[in-house]
């Protein structure tokens, strides 16, 4: 019976490796004390006490519920193996500390303020990202314009807006034919870098001409911005810059 319950609990784990239904969790919980009881019954001291009709000394049975240790009878060989194992653990720990320290050194926070000139030509990969993100954002307006045979032009720059150490993509939509340029400059957008690549949505920035200045001050997890030579500071309110 004990073995059946134990096997039932193991079967419940193997049957559904992800989310277990209540009945499988019940079998699993039942299997743990069942295994403990099974080891108790199988222990020699318990059998001896039962055969003599004596009370079972639980303190003497503790050894059967602890991880089995290697016998000390091997003496010198055991000590040598133990020292070798401790040396391996120390080496691995030192390597882990060194790796963590090196990673922390490489991930040093960027310096601010940062000036991002947005007059650069995008790479092929950046072009694909910008066209994909802004194309979805503008939707029909974007596709209708390009159906006329025009190819929407833009330039890019790079700066870290959220301080995560990854350079974000700043875009100036400076295609005058598309209609997003005026006396104050052209429409700007930021596409945040992520561990997987870039965010699927762009952040709308102010109209500006040549550069965005990322300031040291932070609001709601994003650095404040200024554009060109203007003195107005734009702050992140959780949804956009204003």
DSSP tag of 107: T
State mean pLDDT over 194-221: 96
pTM, entire model: 0.57
Cβ contacts of 180 within 8 Å, gap of 6 or more: 173, 186, 187
Residues 51, 23: Cα–Cα separation, whole Å: 38
Mean pLDDT of the chain: 78
Return the pLDDT at 25.
46
Return the pLDDT at 39.
66
Higher pLDDT, 8 or 37: 37
CA distances from 118 to 111, 174, 205, 206, 213 (A): 19, 10, 13, 13, 11
Which residue in 177, 182, 173 sits closest to 205, CA to CA? 173
Radius of gyration of the chain (CA): 33
Return the pLDDT at 225.
98
- Number of helical H runs and strand E runs in the chain: 6, 10
Cβ contacts of 119 within 8 Å, gap of 6 or more: 155, 157, 172, 210
State mean pLDDT over 10-19: 46
Reported as a single tens digit per residue, the pLDDT across 153-179 is 999 999 999 999 999 999 999 998 999
The yes-or-no verdict on residue 118 having pLDDT over 70 is yes
Which residue in 194, 199, 173, 193 sits closest to 185, CA to CA? 173
Q: Name the band, by pLDDT with cuts 50, 70 and 90, for residue 206.
A: very high
């Amino acid at each position: 019976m004990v073995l059946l319950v134990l096997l039932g609990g193991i079967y419940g784990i193997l049957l559904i490796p992800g989310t277990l239904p209540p009945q499988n969790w019940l079998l699993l919980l039942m299997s743990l004390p069942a295994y403990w009881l099974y080891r108790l019954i199988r222990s020699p001291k318990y059998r001896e006490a039962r055969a003599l009709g004596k009370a079972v000394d639980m303190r003497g049975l503790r050894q059967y519920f602890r991880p089995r240790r290697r016998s000390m009878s091997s003496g010198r060989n055991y000590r040598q193996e133990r020292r070798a194992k401790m040396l391996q653990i120390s080496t691995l720990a030192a390597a882990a500390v060194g790796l963590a320290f090196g990673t922390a050194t490489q991930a040093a926070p960027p310096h601010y303020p940062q000036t991002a000139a947005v007059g650069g030509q995008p790479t092929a990969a950046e072009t694909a990202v910008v066209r994909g993100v802004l194309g979805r954002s503008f939707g029909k307006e974007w596709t209708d314009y390009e159906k006329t045979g025009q190819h929407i032009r833009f330039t890019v720059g790079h700066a870290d807006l959220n301080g995560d150490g990854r350079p974000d993509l700043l875009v100036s939509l400076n295609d005058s034919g598309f209609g997003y340029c005026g006396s104050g400059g052209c429409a700007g957008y930021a596409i945040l870098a992520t561990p997987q690549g870039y965010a699927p949505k762009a952040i709308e920035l102010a109209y500006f001409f040549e550069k965005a200045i990322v300031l040291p001050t932070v609001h709601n997890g994003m650095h404040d911005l200024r554009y060109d030579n203007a003195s107005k500071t734009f702050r992140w309110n959780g949804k956009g810059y204003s």
